Amino acid sequence: MLPTLAAALFYLIAAAILVRDVARGIDGRAWKIPAALALLAHAWLHIEAWHRTGVPDMHFFAALSLVSLGMAAVTTLLGTRKQLDAIGVVVFPLAAVFAACYSFFGHAPQPPMTWQVQVHAWLALFAYATLAVGALLAIVLWLQERAMRNREFHGWMRALPPLTELESALFRTLTVGFLLLSAAILVGAVFVGNLFQQHLVHKTVLSLASWLIFAILLFGRWRWGWRGPRAVRWTLVAMAILLLAFFGSRFVLELILKRA
């Protein structure tokens, strides 16, 4: 319980500091210390469970918690420069909630996994976390563009970087997430034996569909300079499909059908 309480408390403190900074329109740095402490406590929660069982827990709530940990880490990394820390207002409370959910509901017997399957799972989790942060950046970009188009200059806009810098950060994040997702799909294709027997066919088809949308978006950005609302729409559609692929299938299999 102690790592869970510490993670949740420090995440909420970091989020509260960021809310204050965003409301004032300033790019503060005081949130970094509680955010770093929250990340350490959150990571220790999973390391402790891994040490106790001898295998990483990848069940539904554990995966949610790990993805939120990755999102919090990416947010903290992005927040070290150019006013990109504002998304922590959303990410840090989510990480606190998912860490608590894992602590209370997530522990379950984990079947043995080969190191190849573990590599596939970790790559997938890192990809989901990075692309989820990219989706949040896309939402912030859409809100900023809409406010400027309607000449609504709110105080929170002063805590954000210029549109061009925010857009560049969005596509850098999507590129990293896309590469991780590509690696996860490649490793899964090589080492996963029977997709139908392992109840992975829906996850695979939806993951490939999401991968294809991200690929088209990044190619369109490189070849034709796609940006603005088009980039936001493609990012959110691809991320929604990816979430359905992973967490939707796990929700049905593990929580409804009670299968590993």
- Nearest Cα to Cα of residue 134 among 8, 2, 232, 215: 232
**pLDDT at residue number 105:** 78
Q: What is the pLDDT of residue 1?
A: 76
Q: What is the pLDDT of residue 35?
A: 96
Which of the residues in the chain have pLDDT under 50?
none
Local structure of residue 251 (DSSP, 8 states):
I
Name residues whose C-beta falls within 8 Å of residue 252's C-beta, 6 or more positions apart in sequence: none
pLDDT for position 13? 96
What pLDDT score does 159 carry?
A: 67
pLDDT tens-digit map of 101-151: 998 876 666 667 777 888 888 999 999 999 999 999 999 899 888 877 777
**Confidence at residue 120, expressed as pLDDT on a 0 to 100 scale:** 86
Q: How far is CA 77 from CA 85, 169, 222, 255, in A?
A: 9, 12, 25, 33
Per-residue tokens: 125: 């989790």
Residue of 23, 38, 119 lying closest to 72 (CA atoms): 38
Comparing CA positions, the residue from 2, 206, 237, 198 lying closest to residue 99 is 2
* Beta-carbon count within 10 A of 188 CB: 21
pLDDT for 130: 96
CB contact at 8 A, 22 and 159: yes
- The predicted pLDDT at position 240 comes to 93
Per-residue pLDDT reduced to its tens digit, 199-208 = 667 788 889 9
**Total-model pTM:** 0.90
